[in-house]
Chain A
């Protein structure tokens, strides 16, 4: 079970959207550029006034992965070992999100395969974007 999340000012729109089953990513209107993790300012132009939240498709690809055997998070230690994948977004392969790839056997991760976002409840009920291999049974 993942730790719960207490949304803060910076990331509240991301978490609220997740609770609604939508994936939103911070976006700089001036640069026409997504950025993740979110920041107070655009990492490219430095502006704080041009940042918005943009809904994305929830489609991506598995870019890379590791298998966690010694996790620092107490709540996750019962689940060891588990996959920890780096997923990139279809809209912009430069944007990464982490995933446990629910449904994918440990260390049998198909790098390069398409994935789709799902939303998973954490310890305090806050939902979090997760990713499943596209076409895999839910």
Chain B
């Protein structure tokens, strides 16, 4: 197919791709799809205007990194699954001149901001002439967690045998979500029903956490060991923002002294928007065994599509759904909670990580017990690692550190972050929110 015309009509994956129902049994492709390559771009707090550091530029770096890491010939790549949205909350300001130097540094599509504040499969393929064999492209919307589900299913279904999976984020100048409609004097009626009260993004999680603390007799201070552990792990993640730019710990004292954003969510319960891109290379189990990296097999992917009854999920809704998600995860993978070597569920916001792991029943913990669990040894050196990636709290906002970490841990190439208190054999990662996430089970063996 001609260069540049290969993916002009790429579309979001249909809902049927995602395994969101209960009772689906073992995933039909359990152990037949594997991750064999990882590529990460450098991180930055914001775009500096240089073409190579644009969201398109860093995506090229990540994709080429994943190809090189896997040892695959670029011409053998026949699939690309990605998320076309790249915003961390920043949009190109209306009326601001377009960055033509950066735009014209690459092959363009019809949209000049493609590669700057959004990213199409068409743009990627126009700018990667070495990918001569791509015949399958699809969008997994929202974050890497959904793109992984789409890619794993596509490889399992035989729609692509060597598939790149990409997620990228851009961040521009200015404060998070402070412009646009939020700076105006009036807003449309439909959005006013939610946003008129000025609640920041973490508000829903904050009030769920408040309810959690009231119900189970816990306190915000009990989150301090989780935050400290996450940042410590993140500082051991060389691909992460904090490790690269500001190697700062967050001590329990730092955490407790931080200002509130929406009490009981404070500054360090929130992640920091950054520019970053990551790519993985997925292939069939058979092909994976011929490649240079140890294959990490996918045992299952599962999704939550539950909607809250009203404005924000109640604690009951959260707990029902995280338990339901866990049943789906375990059923499709043919495992139980006891099989998990470690967990890497999402953490951006930190105050919902406990919902994820209580739903999983990680190390046997039940609802209301995670904050007590955080007071025990949850480090990478102990028997019960929590968020060994460090997640968004430890590495900056990407929603993909946990996936990279699962692959690297199982391949035993997580460097100083490598878990040592457990054998890294089976792990789960995913998110973002407790209601409405996508999850993957990774394994050192096909099952």
Contact = CB atoms under 8 A, between A and B. Distances in A.
Interface string B165-189: 0000000000011100011111111
B206 interface: yes
Contact of A98 (B183, B186, B199): B199
A5 B260 contact: no
A23 B319 CA distance: 31
B185 A124 contact: yes
A22 to B, nearest CB: 16
Nearest to B177: A72
B193 A36 contact: yes
A37 B188 CA distance: 14
B189 A8 contact: yes
Contacts of A75: 185
A51 B193 CA distance: 18
Contacts of A3: 184-187, 192, 196
A66 B207 contact: yes
Interface string A63-75: 1111111111111
Contact of A68 (B193, B200, B211, B312): B200
Contacts of B314: 63
Interface in B90-133: none
Contacts of B263: 66-67, 69, 81, 107
A81 B307 CA distance: 30
B52 interface: no
Interface in A88-138: 94-100, 107, 111, 122-124, 128
Contact of A69 (B176, B262, B310): B262
A46 B370 CA distance: 37
Contacts of B261: 68-70
B47 to A, nearest CB: 21
User: Which of A36, A63, A64: most chain B CB closer than 10 A?
Assistant: A64
B307 A84 contact: no
A68 B264 CA distance: 9
A4 B260 contact: no
Interface in A13-45: 14-15, 35-38, 43
Interface string B283-314: 00000000000000000000000010111101
Contact of B178 (A6, A14, A43, A72): A72
A8 B190 contact: yes
B246 interface: no
A73 B182 contact: yes
Interface size class of B (residues with CB under 8 A): 35 or more
B245 interface: no
A98 B194 contact: yes
B203 interface: yes
A96 B189 CA distance: 17
Given A66-B203, A68-B200, A71-B200, A128 B185 contact: no
Given A5-B192, A6-B188, A12-B189, A86 B309 contact: no
A122 B192 CA distance: 11
B186 A84 contact: no
B188 A8 contact: yes
B312 A96 contact: yes
A40 B260 CA distance: 36
B310 A14 contact: no
A2 interface: yes
Contacts of B200: 68, 70-72
Nearest to A10: B190
A7 interface: yes
A74 B91 CA distance: 17
Contacts of A76: 198
B265 interface: yes
A78 B435 CA distance: 33
B199 A67 contact: no
Nearest to A5: B192
A7 to B, nearest CB: 4
Contact of B211 (A14, A35, A64, A124): A64
Contacts of A6: 186-189
A69 B199 CA distance: 9
Contacts of B262: 66-70, 84
A30 B206 CA distance: 35
B193 A69 contact: no
3 tightest CB-CB pairs across the interface, nearest first? A4-B186, A11-B189, A96-B310
Interface of A: 2-8, 10-12, 14-15, 35-38, 43, 63-76, 81-82, 84, 86, 94-100, 107, 111, 122-124, 128
18 contacts: A3-B186, A5-B186, A5-B196, A6-B189, A8-B189, A10-B190, A11-B193, A15-B189, A37-B193, A64-B210, A68-B262, A70-B262, A72-B182, A74-B182, A81-B260, A99-B197, A100-B197, A128-B196
Given A11-B192, A84-B199, 15 more contacts: A2-B198, A3-B196, A5-B188, A6-B187, A43-B307, A66-B262, A68-B198, A68-B261, A69-B263, A72-B198, A72-B200, A74-B182, A84-B197, A86-B311, A98-B199
Interface of B: 176-178, 182-190, 192-201, 203, 206-207, 210-211, 214, 259-265, 307, 309-312, 314
